[in-house]
Amino acid sequence: MKRISVAQPTLNGNEKKYVMDCLETNWISSVGKYIGAFEEAFAAFCGVKHAIATNNGTTALHLALVAMDLRPGDEVIVPTVTYIATANAVRYCGATPVLVDVHAETMNIDPAEIERKITEKTRGIIPVHLYGHPAEMETINAIAKRHGLWVLEDAAEAHGAEVSGKKVGTFGTCATFSFFGNKIVTTGEGGMVTTNDDALAAKLRLFRGQGMDLARRYWFPVVGYNYRMTNIQAAIGLAQMETVEKSISDRAQIASWYDEALANLRTQIVLPAPVASVKQVYWMYNIFLREGNGARRDAVMRAMDEMGIETRPVFYPMHVMPPYFESVKYPVADLWSPRGINLPTHQGLTKDDVERIAFSLKQALLG
Ligand SMILES: *Cc1c(COP(=O)(O)O)cnc(C)c1O
């Protein structure tokens, strides 16, 4: 029986045609028509004024923090459960990520815990739309406004997710996306910063291109970075944007197959609960064991692996890993993150695949 991977890219549109165009015309580096076209398509998709492409999602985060002038000694509020790049980007600026506990199930930052962590050094908040489920942007923006902070949405996992009918990437001062190979939209490696702020967009473009003055070639008013995306990456990205609505609806379909196939395991596992005001895009379909610890979860994942099903653990909280270790407890993250499993979620899955995954999970839970 074929192995089912947890994630894989879907490249069945114009990807090949546009990449061949780059090769045939010699425009393979970070100048070329696909970069602007991809940026425009992405901005239009989100409903935001500016989209600035970068070479990956981590550099998009770092670039956004640099452009917002984050400095050593500053503090930034970050959820303790996220992919490590969120916290690392803060550290790249010499600033300190200040961790906040999360909600069970969505694993998104708990706004009720944010204000306790704000000090006079706090500059901003980075809510992460984890696994495709939007964070509570209205509440978070209100907190930020009250304290004069910026908001950077880490939307790396949530292309097309919505809050009250409005797409993520439009709520914060700016937002960042990733186009890594396992993300909902991919360019192999790639990233994007979105913003409605003209002055911030100009700074993002300046710092992305080594700090070169956009109106005066080879004049460098600041120390910038080479975080440019290539035309080849953008060619893939543009093709991906032509099929993005289908990518999102396919994932919703897969999630509903999972809901159905796993319904009879509800006494043992927690399934994703729909939240009325949001559209979640299922970068990963997650389940949580109702009982037990990380060792039991790992045993379930091992048993599934032996049945040919690849899964992944829900992210370890930042505060348990060496670079960000804290002995303080984050009760929700500490209880639920070790019980969480990402089930395979990608557009290549069939209903039969989902049923096979559900069956293997059921077997694994018996063991
Ligand atoms: C993938 C991801 C990133 C980093 O993106 P890369 O393109 O891999 O550098 C940042 N934040 C989150 C939440 C992610 O999932």
Q: What is the CATH number of the domain that holds 160?
A: 3.40.640.10
- Tell how far the Cα of 79 is from the centroid of ligand 1, in angstroms: 14
Regarding the beta carbon of 108 and ligand 1, being less than 6 Å apart is answered: no
Kindly report each contact of residues 296-302 with a partner whose C-beta sits within 8 Å and lies 24 or more positions away, as own/partner: 296/339, 297/338, 297/339, 297/340, 297/341, 299/364, 299/367, 300/341, 300/361, 300/364, 300/365, 300/367, 301/341, 301/364
Query: pLDDT category, 274, cuts 50, 70, 90?
Result: confident
pLDDT of residue 170: 98
Q: State whether 199 and 317 are in the same domain.
A: no
Q: Has residue 1 got a pLDDT over 90?
A: no
Mutational pocket test of ligand 1: of 54, 58, 315, the residue with most ligand atoms within 8 Å of the beta carbon: 58
Query: pLDDT category, 50, cuts 50, 70, 90?
Result: very high
Regarding the beta carbon of 101 and ligand 1, being less than 6 Å apart is answered: no
Q: Please identify which residue in the block is written with the tokens 């996220």.
A: 82
Q: Has residue 57 got a pLDDT over 90?
A: yes
Q: Which atom of ligand 1 is nearest to the CA of 86?
A: 11
% the chain with pLDDT above 90: 99
pLDDT of residue 203: 98
If DSSP states are collapsed to H, E and C, what string results for 279-313? ECCCCCEEEEECCCCHHHHHHHHHHHHHCCECCEE
Q: Has residue 49 got a pLDDT over 90?
A: yes
The residue-averaged pLDDT of 148-172 equals 98
Mutational pocket test of ligand 1: of 80, 86, 176, the residue with most ligand atoms within 8 Å of the beta carbon: 86
Q: State whether 224 and 251 are in the same domain.
A: no
Q: State whether 228 and 291 are in the same domain.
A: no
Q: State whether 235 and 271 are in the same domain.
A: no
Q: State whether 84 and 231 are in the same domain.
A: yes
Q: Has residue 278 got a pLDDT over 90?
A: yes
pTM over 0.85: yes
pLDDT of residue 326: 97
Torsion 148-115-324-120 (CA) sign: positive
- Tell how far the Cα of 178 is from the centroid of ligand 1, in angstroms: 5
Specify the CATH number for the domain of residue 298.
Answer: 3.90.1150.10
- Distances in Å between the Cα of 164 and the Cα atoms of 137, 159, 167, 295 are 10, 15, 8, 38
The residue-averaged pLDDT of 252-256 equals 98
Q: What is the residue with the minimal CA distance to atom 13 of ligand 1?
A: 83
Q: What is the residue with the minimal CA distance to atom 10 of ligand 1?
A: 85
Instruction: Give the pLDDT confidence of 281-291 residue by residue, as tens digits.
Output: 999 999 999 99
- 3-class DSSP state of 253: helix
Regarding the beta carbon of 132 and ligand 1, being less than 6 Å apart is answered: no
The residue-averaged pLDDT of 161-186 equals 98
pLDDT of residue 109: 98
- Tell how far the Cα of 177 is from the centroid of ligand 1, in angstroms: 7
Domain termination site, one of 241, 257, 281? 241
Regarding the beta carbon of 344 and ligand 1, being less than 6 Å apart is answered: no
Regarding the beta carbon of 57 and ligand 1, being less than 6 Å apart is answered: yes
Tell whether 4 is covered by a domain.
no
Instruction: Give the pLDDT confidence of 189-230 residue by residue, as tens digits.
Output: 999 999 999 999 999 999 999 999 999 999 999 999 999 999
Domain residues for the domain of 180 are: 15-241
Tell whether 62 is covered by a domain.
yes
The residue-averaged pLDDT of 135-149 equals 98
The residue-averaged pLDDT of 67-84 equals 98
- Tell how far the Cα of 86 is from the centroid of ligand 1, in angstroms: 7
Regarding the beta carbon of 157 and ligand 1, being less than 6 Å apart is answered: yes
Q: For residue 287, list its beta bridge partners.
A: 341
Domain termination site, one of 210, 241, 272? 241
Structure tokens that stand for 98 in this block? 């200040």
Structure tokens that stand for 113 in this block? 């815990």
Q: State whether 220 and 263 are in the same domain.
A: no
Number of compact structural domains in the chain: 2
Q: State whether 173 and 292 are in the same domain.
A: no
The residue-averaged pLDDT of 112-118 equals 97
% the chain with pLDDT above 70: 100
Tell whether 31 is covered by a domain.
yes
Q: Has residue 367 got a pLDDT over 90?
A: no
Tell whether 9 is covered by a domain.
no
Q: State whether 334 and 233 are in the same domain.
A: no
